[in-house]
Structure 1
Amino acid sequence: MKHSRRDFLRSASALAAGAGLVSVLPSGVRAVAPSDRIRIAAIGINGMGWSDLTAMLKHPAAQCVALCDVDRNVLDKRVGELSRQGIKAKAYSDYRKLLEDKSIDAVIIGTPDHWHCLQMTDACAAGKDVYVEKPLGNSIAECRAMVAAQQRHQRAVQVGQWQRSQQHFKDAVAFVHSGKLGQVRLVKAWAYMGWMKSIPVKPDGTPPAGVDYKAWLGPAKERPFNPNRFHFNFRWYWDYAGGLMTDWGVHLLDYALLGMKAETPKSVMAAGGKFAYPDDAAETPDTLTTVYEFDGFNIQWEQAQGIDGGPYGRDHGIAFIGNNGTLVLDRGGWEVIPEKKNMEAVPRQKAVDNGLTLHTQNFIDVIQSRRLDDLRTPVQAGAHIATLAQMGNIAFRTGKKLYWDKHAGQFTDSDANQLLAAGYHNGYKLPVTG
């Protein structure tokens, strides 16, 4: 079964519309007194921000009190959907005004990647706990600033890498750690997205009525409005995101790192380009192979748009390739393929739970307990994997094999180090880390 991002968003929206955002409480769970509820606001509610809110409101303590979006069309639509469920939410077009509301306990950040850093650090400074979509930051420097903000203000910050809350992912990593695969020399992670077709070139134009395009751009370069760069497709432009590497790579490479207990690589190299759709409107590569070198093993990332036939017959996954066998893991389950007669096969162990629901519930539980160490994907973990993904993109953009100096926290190549920080424009500045 194929699991595209669009399928995921479509199913989440259908669930919200059909079942209502206020879910029936599980058997044995008591209602929560109004004074004990966690008041939530969502910033950026067109896609994953809305899915995150939908999942979070299944928790009996969660209460939505505000929404924010620079697209008035989206904002009015979502406010109306909540209203039909009996939920009254204030509407904001400026997230900074929303953060001034001291009654709000926590915020969801579901905006394009280039906004994550400013909004998360501002939210922490305003005393809010934060659930921020992945990738955590749009540059390595942003990741560092976000970690520093969380440490300074001691807020609960959960990154939306919900696979960390799924049991079958944990079970697969435990099997890898058992040593039964033997020496693991190569880990492959891949995303072959057949549903991602060419983006036709469109002329610049006027922003749709109700869209505050200046606010949407924020710290990104000032450019004329183009529909290809707006909403979902922002992912394929360097000004705002990092393509499939940061969209799917942070999910899958995260588990490659967890399985190998890996930190930062010694070197990284990448090759690819726009091989499938050389003349379309996107900037990021549709085809890419990236190799991360560690002591004793390599991690390899592959991506291909317009193709579903990935390794092991799966359109996405992680494969831990050992001397005794290979464990293949994806969102649907995991299995072990033996190497000759060195071990027994393990039949496919299927997924049994909903990762997004569990991940958002974990966030609310931690807000209540204030045990920040219980977060499934704390900001430090989100920064770790986002940094790895950014390293891969920097290797592609420079066309060089790059070596990482872990003590200096930078590459040994000056050209690559120019890409450690995303450019900030229009009067915005990268938050300080000190």
Structure 2
Amino acid sequence: MADAASRLTTLAEDLLGVELPVRIRAWDGSEAGPPGAPVLVVRHRRALRRLVWRPGELGLVRAWVAGELDVEGDLYDALDRLAGLVWERGAGSPGAVRAARAVRAAQALRAVRDPRLHAAARSLLRLAGPWPPPPPPVEEVRRRTGPLHTRRRDRAAISHHYDVGNDFYGLILGPSMVYSCAYWDEEDGTLEEAQSAKLDLICAKLALAEGDRLLDVGCGWGSMAVHAARDYGARVVGVTLSTEQAAYARKRVAGEGLTDLVEIRVQDYRDVRDGPYDAISSIGMAEHVGRVRFQEYADHLYALLGPGGRLLNHQISRRPEKNEAAYHVDEFIDRYVFPDGELAPVGRTTAALEDAGFEVRDVEAIREHYALTLRRWVANLEAGRSEAERLTSPGRVRVWHLYMAACAVAFERNRIGVNQVLAVRTPGDGASGMPLRPRTWNERRER
């Protein structure tokens, strides 16, 4: 076991076919790799056992959540360097796929054509130590069965992510309690200012006026509902599947003296039947809908709007694949963060809205804004780490730390994006109600 870091670095490079872009510090205290690079700390051989049984992203994540892997140095830099080794356009990178096949073949005592690859895989198995593989960390979602996106399954998925304590979310999100991309005027502005600006932007795009009926789909902790009612005089119905969110939002509404204008429901959006509404906001909710239900989602929201009604769909997107049928959901996100969540290219989103009957009037890409938002959330979590662990668990905090930092890098590198799509249920006479120069949102915000 002497100099485990050098052995591990050599084996990894042989299996992946590229030089490692990070340093390795092994459980024996040894180090190897490029000087000055972030350090990937392998605290225990169990991390290797996880990797040889689940090569690729899931094995790495399990080791991270269990505290067997860590990063010393700039986490964002480390994630950026490592991303290309294990991930490429929605699937495993060629090197990671080749390494995984070699390890699985060695486990099954089958030879690999490349003798060097075979020898590296066998050596990694010996270095990893005795079987069996460790069980997954308790934060991992158990394997789900049955059809995707039934009401019961969606409720369980939402509960896993959102019902982990309002105090925990408050620590990360800050006083605004807005869990979606903020809208920044300046990079050094405050998170609360940027979230308020985002809510103002949405209200302006929806052209909200006093007395308008607004449906806020996936209302979270009530931030949009309160903002629209308090600052614009809208009558708001907010729906969420999270009981903890609803309890917080109702208390917040009462504290603002807005109970006559805002109703918060624990309700599936598919069960909302009390249209017509003048406007609908869907902010960071459509990612939970899934491709098998997205057309149903678009159709239902269209039916809930009156003629001339507007929809603002704020949604994370992914880059399109040449072979969409081969696209796979990110295992880390699916197992630990958003069970059953799916991202779609923005073109598919607008096509579904148009198929429902909407006229798409504006699409604004704001992915750089989400990178800034996530970095603020990460800073909040790092500053309050001890309290966050007390409120949840060390494993849950490690999940969130990795998820938010990795997403920040993904937005910065244009691996994923976020878009606000404004769509109108244009009446038969073609009068959309849109101004001739529609991009006056910021002018209206400043008045």
Query: What band does the TM-score fall into relative to the shorter chain?
Result: 0.3 to 0.5
Higher CA-based Rg: 2
TM-score by length of 2: 0.33
TM-score by length of 1: 0.33
More helix by share: 2
